[in-house]
Amino acid sequence: MKLALLTIDYEAHWGMPRDHGRYDLTSTTRRLLDVLACHQSPAVFFVVGCLAEEQPALIEEIAAAGHEIALHGWRHENLATLNDAGLREVDRGLARSEQQIERITGRRPAGFRAPYLLWPDFYRREVYAMLAAHGYLWVSNHKVRYPEELLRPDRRLASAYRLARRRPSLLTGRTAGLLVDVLNRRPAHRRGAERPRAFRARFDAAPFWRDGMLEIPIHCPVDTELLGLPAPETATSDELLDYARFSTRLASRRAGTTPVYTFHDWLIGTANRTAILEELLSFLAAEGYETSTVSAAWERLVPERPARSAAASVSALSTRTRRPDARKP
């Protein structure tokens, strides 16, 4: 079967754009877990480190359901803008969060996604050096932009979206590929941005090695780009829901791509938006996809690596994620 990765940025109040006292993380989490269980779809939960201290029972519940726990910063900091002192504080916070997650689940997190994806460059050398020093095996910060994110129907190009809705091939053909290249062209001089040597945007942005870690790009517009930033209790319009359905399905139709979908607990798990997740999982199953955690799909994701064999990487991942009762005394 074909592979798809489902990721959830698990942030609660740490990452929400505004304070919502009525947001119930426990009920939202269980709602998401019920949907994933119904579709037998494992996911990667990128957990804000402080939530592991605040909500250990929920983290344990997520892991017990078969989902992978990765980290999403310590306090949802913007790592692209922190000074050296700020990075040192995050460094200490991550170490504490990693230990807490290992105590809760028996496994140290092997993956990391930066809050805000280190935008606008999706990379910062100092941050990657810190993550490598912590022993992370993979990261997911590199965002590939696609034309459909420009077509949100509540913005100026609503008519273009309606045309693309009738003719989806406009967003997956050669002309669209050229636009993808333009959207992903970033100035190399900007704050030391590093463009991966062999990276081609187009529709085949496979995982690649960078700074000793496997970078797993995001291929679909994230839910905040598709649906905006609604309050958890506010329903989303039918037109925007239709646009989100259309855009998420496009990601599975790009040749050569393992689609990587990204949602946020406080958005996809609230109001009427959970239907998007349910319908996407049904669609992926009908299209012959299986969802997986990164750890379980590691051998299928790992490209050739000059400095270190894929077998060594698999061995390292196994060592990092095995449960404490399997360790030698």
Residues 43-61 pLDDT 10s:
999 999 999 999 999 999 9
pLDDT for residue 223: 96
Structure tokens at 200: 């081609």
pLDDT tens for each residue of 93-147: 999 999 999 999 999 999 999 999 999 889 999 999 999 999 999 999 999 888 8
More confident residue, 297 or 183: 297
CATH number for the domain spanning 174: value is: 3.20.20.370
CA distance 110 to 262: 18
pLDDT for residue 229: 94
Mean pLDDT comparison of 33-37, 204-208, 217-221, highest-scoring range: 33-37
Query: CB neighbours of 328 closer than 8 A, spacing ≥ 6?
Result: none
CA distance 318 to 108: 11
**293-304 mean pLDDT:** 89
More confident residue, 326 or 289: 289
Structure tokens at 143: 């965002």
pLDDT for residue 199: 53
Confidence category of residue 80, pLDDT binned at 50, 70, 90: very high
More confident residue, 148 or 191: 148
* Cα dihedral sign, 34-6-238-233: positive
- Say yes or no to pLDDT of 78 above 60: yes
Structure tokens at 46: 């990128």
Contact assessment for residue 140 and residue 118, using Cβ atoms and an 8 Å cutoff: no
CA distance 11 to 270: 14
Structure tokens at 312: 């060594």
Q: Print burial letters for 160-197: b (CB count within 10 Å at least 16), e (below 16).
A: bbeebbeeeeebbeeebbeebeeebeeeeeeeebeeee
Q: What is the reported pTM? A: 0.89
A 10 A CB-CB count for 26 gives 12
Average pLDDT over the chain reads 87
- Domain coverage including residue 293: 2-326
- Say yes or no to pLDDT of 196 above 80: no
pLDDT tens for each residue of 302-319: 875 544 444 445 445 554
Structure tokens at 52: 């592991």
Q: How many structural domains does the chain have?
A: 1
- Total residues belonging to the chain: 329
pLDDT for residue 200: 57
Q: Label residue 280 exposed, middle or buried (CB < 10 Å: 0-12, 13-18, 19+).
A: buried
pLDDT for residue 254: 79
pLDDT tens for each residue of 222-281: 999 999 999 999 999 999 999 999 999 998 887 677 899 999 999 999 999 999 999 999
The DSSP bridge partners found for residue 139 are 112, 215
pLDDT for residue 159: 83
Residue 42, SS3 per DSSP: coil
pLDDT for residue 189: 40
CA distance 263 to 54: 21
**168-190 mean pLDDT:** 74
CA distance 195 to 121: 9
Name which of 72-81, 213-222, 262-271 the model is least confident about.
Answer: 213-222
- Say yes or no to pLDDT of 190 above 50: no
**12-35 mean pLDDT:** 92
Residue 142: closest CA among 201, 85, 204, 216 = 216
Percent of the chain with pLDDT over 90: 65
Beta-strand (E) ranges in the chain? 2-10, 44-47, 68-71, 111-112, 138-139, 208-210, 213-215, 260-264, 289-292
Q: For residue 138, which phi and psi values (nearest 5 degrees)?
A: -150, 155
